[in-house]
């Protein structure tokens, strides 16, 4: 799944791009603004709006000589549209819940990379950074990490790109920071344990 554009899992048409923009706000928007935000042509967006208005999923409001559009949140299908628009926050919530249920919690866990930035695609891994506690029992820890990877695949269709280090390795890594530390400083979304920016230190 393209977590940054989850509607593509259903369709790549102009209609879903328009719905994605409308679902992200309750503010009425013009057809021209919707075209700009969706990255689509004004003509294509207008045709999509006409179809969606006909189905009742989009409301059209008169504004002088032009029209403004909003998602009709009373429509039977509106909750489905809103749910798809919330795919990335839902992924983050599920990651936090699963990691929070571990019998051996990580010293740190975070989401980083393209999914954290919101610019991935269907080929992107869901990148996770885990710090294994010094006293973690090896088999149980591996079971938890493998279960997390399986969950990510089931939730999104994407592979989990898991970078794992031990607490004991952190001091050495701070001395000679790997590239992932720079990504963590810029993009990390903390999921559990100590915040990433405290963990990796300053550049």
Summarised one tens digit per residue, pLDDT across range 121-152 is: 778 899 999 999 999 999 999 999 999 999 99
CB contact at 8 A, 181 and 173: yes
What mean pLDDT comes out for the span 109-114?
Answer: 95
C-alpha to C-alpha distances, 70 to 28, 118, 139, 148, 202, nearest whole angstrom: 5, 24, 52, 38, 44
Distant-in-sequence, close-in-space partners of 58: CB < 8 Å, separation ≥ 6? 18, 19, 22, 49, 52, 69, 70, 71, 72
- Residue 10 reports pLDDT greater than 80: no
Q: What is the pTM for the complete model shown? A: 0.79
C-alpha to C-alpha distances, 172 to 115, 175, 203, nearest whole angstrom: 28, 5, 14
Q: Which fold has domain 6-84?
A: Arc Repressor Mutant, subunit A (1.10.10)
Domain boundaries, the chain: 6-84, 86-200
- What confidence score (pLDDT) does residue 44 get? 95
Q: How far apart are the first and last CA of the chain?
A: 33
Distant-in-sequence, close-in-space partners of 164: CB < 8 Å, separation ≥ 6? 129, 130, 131, 132, 145
Q: Which fold has domain 86-200?
A: Beta Polymerase; domain 2 (3.30.460)
How many residues would you count in the chain?
203
pLDDT digits (tens, 9 = 90+) for 146-181: 999 999 999 999 999 999 999 989 888 888 888 999
What mean pLDDT comes out for the span 108-120?
Answer: 90
In the chain, what's the furthest Cα-to-Cα distance?
Answer: 69
Distant-in-sequence, close-in-space partners of 197: CB < 8 Å, separation ≥ 6? 184, 185, 188
- What confidence score (pLDDT) does residue 64 get? 86
pLDDT digits (tens, 9 = 90+) for 40-92: 999 999 999 999 999 999 999 998 888 999 999 999 999 989 888 888 899 99
């Amino acid at each position: 799944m393209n977590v940054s554009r989850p509607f593509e899992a259903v369709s790549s048409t102009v209609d879903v791009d328009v719905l994605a923009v409308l679902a992200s706000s309750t503010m009425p928007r013009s057809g021209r603004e919707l075209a700009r935000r969706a990255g689509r042509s004004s003509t294509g967006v207008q045709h999509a709006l006409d179809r969606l208005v006909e189905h009742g999923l989009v409301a059209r409001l008169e504004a002088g000589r032009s029209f403004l559009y909003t998602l009709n949140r009373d429509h039977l299908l509106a909750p489905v549209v809103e749910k798809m628009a919330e795919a990335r926050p839902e992924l983050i919530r599920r990651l936090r819940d699963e990691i929070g249920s571990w019998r051996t919690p990580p010293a740190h866990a975070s989401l980083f990379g393209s999914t954290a930035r919101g610019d991935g695609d269907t080929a992107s891994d869901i990148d996770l950074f885990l710090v294994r506690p010094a006293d973690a029992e090896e088999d149980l820890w591996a079971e938890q990490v493998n279960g997390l990877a399986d969950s990510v695949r089931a939730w999104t269709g994407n592979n989990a790109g898991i970078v794992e280090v031990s607490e004991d390795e952190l001091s050495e890594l701070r001395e000679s920071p790997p590239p992932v530390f720079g990504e963590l400083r810029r993009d990390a979304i903390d999921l559990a344990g100590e915040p990433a920016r405290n963990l990796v230190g300053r550049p």
